[in-house]
Structure 1
């Protein structure tokens, strides 16, 4: 029988502990109360949240408690907004803080955040900056290349400038953008991601700016755009290089004027949003070819960050593998061990799909070889199975044995190449079409013909 969820309230003051317990139970939560000493000595299981009165810690540090509850999200409570723990929430488990007297909507918002908290999202890499220890989610490694990226992120903690992140597909651009957001003053508000290449051009304006009821055929209700949803937070525009030119003009205007209108409305809306853009494309080349606006490029490229490909920092692969295996173990409740020859095989590979490709491989191995020792043979076999097929790898053509249906053979070949192109392009249809030398509409028609759904293309953090 499943255990009921519960939260642990940590407070050494009897009066405030009772008041907080009453409020939390009024919200429908099962609450267990402890003093700081008993919290550390008597470990409580099956928790979905820790609520800690910051004033009650006394001689205990927040780290002392988080060491005992490493996978539990934390809500800090204090009447003093200038309390050092409230002002320096650099532990990723600290979901947020509540000021006394508690406001019910604020409390419920943080409880919902605790409900959606995932242990596998916890970071495993730290870096010291002065006297402050900052945690970097999944940006593991010790090479100068990734160290530079972390230093860039630290430079942006007190700034609100636009950022342009460049790097190959699968190198971790979105993870860098999330780190920028969660270490900024906007961290208490939303991080909203949009893949500019995955949305048809005719729908992109409505997706970004929203629309009014009746603005166009099919607009049955008013819809908020991503700019409005991200108000006060961060908007991440992934694959900005795939944005159509007419939409680039409208985005430029928003970045310049900090206002926009929903489709079908003339009422301006203030855009209080930090914009982070990312691309795998060479935007300077795109400017010369007339595919990207130079003025938009300079608006976005205020603070550039370049993500190194995995092949440029192979010394980090053991640490990255360790981090990914910890994440996969938490997600699947299964684990694997890698032999020294397996690690060497991972190091010898060039990883054209970068960390995403490595993550996909390790996940496949975790599911297929649960609780086993993986050797180089298994690594080589899986790499061959998932290897990208390029014209140079196409085998010499030979006729099949006996009679065969050429039309069916060619259809199957075409469908397979479309799937490969979509996988390589992270499900972005326009990029896959460019890879295949097809128009986007033509590719969409072929996907419909072969019943290929881009949502079925597996992908992880970009």
Structure 2
């Protein structure tokens, strides 16, 4: 309501009201604090909400769908989730198996790669056989969200085909070979020196690609690269990269 807190200059409808007559999706409902769960219970039981700063309850007609990445039954037993809220939400439950137990990992990976390539204007649209083996071997504790982030990052690193080395967030078995012949190593270079040089080269290319995709917006580039703003700033200084050069492109 208007005047409910500093800066509340006009009345705004909340999510329950905006979803009136439709569906409200509560993602990771398990993370709701207990006091907020009590407010949710009122909405579930009597279909009413009390706007912040308001004096009268408002009726809402909303269908609720909730998702959780941990079993709510366990959270109820641990006292972290209200039992009454759990029973209200648990009218019809659908249990999704973890990504590692599903057979559509590669289908999702290819879809995410196409999405990232289009959004970030990247030519990379293919996973190598070796890269698909890495994706299938990984256990995916972060499930579909982790897969999407990994593929988006790989699309920034790869210039054509995604290889295992572009899946840097994943543990890659050393014996795993790529589809193409490796370039000969410079004489006198140690394995560690070669690895460091490859990392620096890939890191610099990824930063430049992210800045190009975001037209020099460092905050958005940091989000794409999954690093904080300060880290990106330090890396750009290290590699002599200027965001201004990408704002003109």
Range of TM-score over shorter length: 0.5 to 0.7
Q: 2:163 aligns with which of 347, 369, 375?
A: 375
Whole-angstrom CA distance in 1 between matches of 2:114 and 2:162: 16
**Structure 1 residues 345 and 235: alpha-carbon distance in aligned structure 2, compared to 1, 3 A threshold:** same
Q: Whole-Å Cα distance in 1 between the matches of residues 82 and 27 of structure 2? A: 17
Q: 2:148 aligns with which of 351, 359, 362?
A: 359
8 Å Cα contact 1:336-1:369 kept in structure 2: no
Report the CA distance shift for 1:364/1:225 in structure 2 as closer, same or farther (over 3 A): same
Residue 33 (structure 2) pairs with residue 244 (structure 1) = yes
TM-score (norm 2): 0.63
Cα deviation, residue 373, structure 1:
2.7
Contact 2:131 2:162 in 1 (8 A): yes
Q: Determine whether 1:288 maps to 2:88.
A: no
Q: Does the CA contact (< 8 Å) of 1:356 and 1:459 recur in 2?
A: no
Match of 2:19 among 227, 230, 236: 230
CA RMSD of aligned residues (A): 2.6
Aligned to 1:405: none
Provide the rounded CA distance (Å) in 1 between the counterparts of 2:6 and 2:116: 44
1:318 aligns with 2:144: no
Aligned residue in 2 for 1:414:
none
Cα distance change on mapping 1:373 and 1:291 into 2, 3 Å: closer
State which of 135, 139, 162 in structure 2 corresponds to 1:346: 135
Structure 2: stretches of 5+ with no match in the other structure: 173-218, 227-249
Aligned position for 1:269: 58
Alignment partner of 1:337 is 2:159: no
Question: Which structure shows the bigger proportion of residues in helix conformation?
Answer: 2
Q: 1:333 to 1:266 in 2, by over 3 A?
A: same
In structure 1, the gaps of 5 or more residues are 1-211, 386-452
**How many equivalent pairs are there?**
177
Once residues 364 and 457 of structure 1 are traced to their aligned partners in structure 2, the CA distance between those partners, rounded to angstroms, is: 10
Output the TM-score relative to the length of structure 1. Answer: 0.35
* Structure with larger Rg: 1
Which residue pairs with 2:2 in the alignment? Answer: 213
Cα distance per residue 1:84-129 (max 9 Å; x no partner): xxxxxxxxxxxxxxxxxxxxxxxxxxxxxxxxxxxxxxxxxxxxxx
Contact 2:128 2:161 in 1 (8 A): yes
